[in-house]
Chains A and B, each alone.
Chain A
Amino acid sequence: DAGVIQSPRHEVTEMGQEVTLRCKPISGHDYLFWYRQTMMRGLELLIYFNNNVPIDDSGMPEDRFSAKMPNASFSTLKIQPSEPRDSAVYFCASSSGGPNTGELFFGEGSRLTVL
Chain B
Amino acid sequence: AQSVAQPEDQVNVAEGNPLTVKCTYSVSGNPYLFWYVQYPNRGLQFLLKYITGDNLVKGSYGFEAEFNKSQTSFHLKKPSALVSDSALYFCAVRPRTTSGTYKYIFGTGTRLKVLA
Q: How far is the CA of A107 from the CA of B43 in the complex (A)?
A: 6
Q: In the complex the two chains form, is A108's CB within 8 Å of B43's CB?
A: yes
CB-based contact A108/B42 at 8 Å:
yes
- CA A55 to CA B103, docked complex, whole Å: 10
| Given contact pairs A42-B109, A102-B32, A48 touches B103 in the complex (Cβ within 8 A) | yes
User: Which residue of B is nearest A33, CB measured?
Assistant: B104
Say whether, besides A102-B32, A102-B94, A103-B34, A97 and B46 are in contact (CB < 8 Å): no
Residue A21, interface by CB 8 Å = no
Counting chain B residues whose Cβ lies within 8 A of the other chain, the interface size class is: 20 to 34
CB of A110 to closest CB in B, whole Å: 10
Chain A positions within 8 Å of B83 at CB level? none
Q: Does A18 interact with chain B (Cβ within 8 Å)?
A: no
How far is the CB of B60 from the nearest CB of chain A, in Å?
Answer: 11
Which residues in B have some Cβ–Cβ distance to A below 8 Å?
32, 34, 36, 41-46, 49, 51, 90, 92, 94, 100-104, 106, 108-109
List 11 A–B pairs whose Cβ atoms lie within 8 Å, in order of A's numbering.
A33-B104, A42-B106, A43-B109, A50-B100, A56-B103, A102-B32, A102-B49, A102-B102, A103-B46, A107-B43, A108-B43
